[in-house]
Amino acid sequence: MKTITAIEAQKHHAHRFNVYLNGEYAFPVSEQVLVDFTLHKGQELDTTQIEQITAADTTSRAYSQALDYLSHQLRTTQEVQTALRKRAVPPEIIETVCARLKDQHLLDDQEYANSYVRTVARTELKGPRIIRQKLRQRGITATEIDQALLQFPPKQRVANAYTLAQKLTRRYHNKPIRLRQTKVNQGLMTAGFERDTITQTLAQFSPEVDEEHEAVLLQAAAAKVWRRYDRFNQHTRMQKAKQALYRQGFPLDESTFALEDLAAKEEE
């Protein structure tokens, strides 16, 4: 048996105390552990009691660390577990702390997923596939994700996809219409929207085609590829230039006319 000979408040940590046994520093405890075990000067402790007290303090410190981690924003169970592991908290203590936080509704993966989906649907142009991927990375189960995605109904998915389609159209305005349409479709897929949503979006999305702008783009591209292949004979040059313009998204017939016009001007 050992006797508590002093209990002193720590200078730099509020609500933390140092416990001395038989005149020597033994271990620190939180204020809560001090109260729970009714620790006081003159109290005798055996080895088992000391182990229980130090384990309780480890749990108390881990719980405080978890609360601090949760104070800034919502977290998932996996994120809290990872944060505590980085602080060298034993696995059994992590399990105890997470169970306590869940009982107090301070840790709720379903609520986290619901909140995440609502936020992304409101502030980002991301589809369900990307959302699902991000939530899986945070340890959210498939069932919880499915439930959370109900916060992002099909009508809103189409509206967000439509907004992204407009944004992509503006980004690729200097590309021919066919390539622009391809870029929009690819962009919607990359953003995580599902095929049904993309189909509905593109059925509604029909940006006006500026024929004059398309003609300017074609003339500039045709002149560039015509110069690029000037080392070839006329037939090969024409074929390579047509292929290059087609790959860039220009219609074959219109490309042919533009190139033939350039060839005629050279002969003049």
Clarify whether residues 91 and 9 are in a common domain: yes
- Residue 198 CA to residue 49 CA, distance in Å, equals 65
Residue segments in the chain with a per-residue pLDDT below the cut of 50:
none
Clarify whether residues 145 and 192 are in a common domain: no
Clarify whether residues 200 and 218 are in a common domain: no
pLDDT of residue 210: 67
- pLDDT digit string (tens) for 90-101? 999 999 999 999
Residue 70, domain extent: 2-103
One-letter amino acid identity for 86?
K
pLDDT of residue 156: 97
pLDDT of residue 83: 96
- CATH code: domain of residue 116: 1.10.10.10
Clarify whether residues 166 and 245 are in a common domain: no
pLDDT of residue 230: 85
Clarify whether residues 97 and 118 are in a common domain: no
Q: Of 42, 39, 114, nearest to 76 (Cα)?
A: 114
Clarify whether residues 128 and 84 are in a common domain: no
In our burial notation (b when 16+ CB lie closer than 10 A, e otherwise), range 95-115 reads: ebbbeebeeeebbbbeebbbe
- For the chain, the domain total comes to 4
- CATH code: domain of residue 221: 1.10.10
Clarify whether residues 36 and 92 are in a common domain: yes
Clarify whether residues 180 and 200 are in a common domain: yes
pLDDT of residue 248: 82
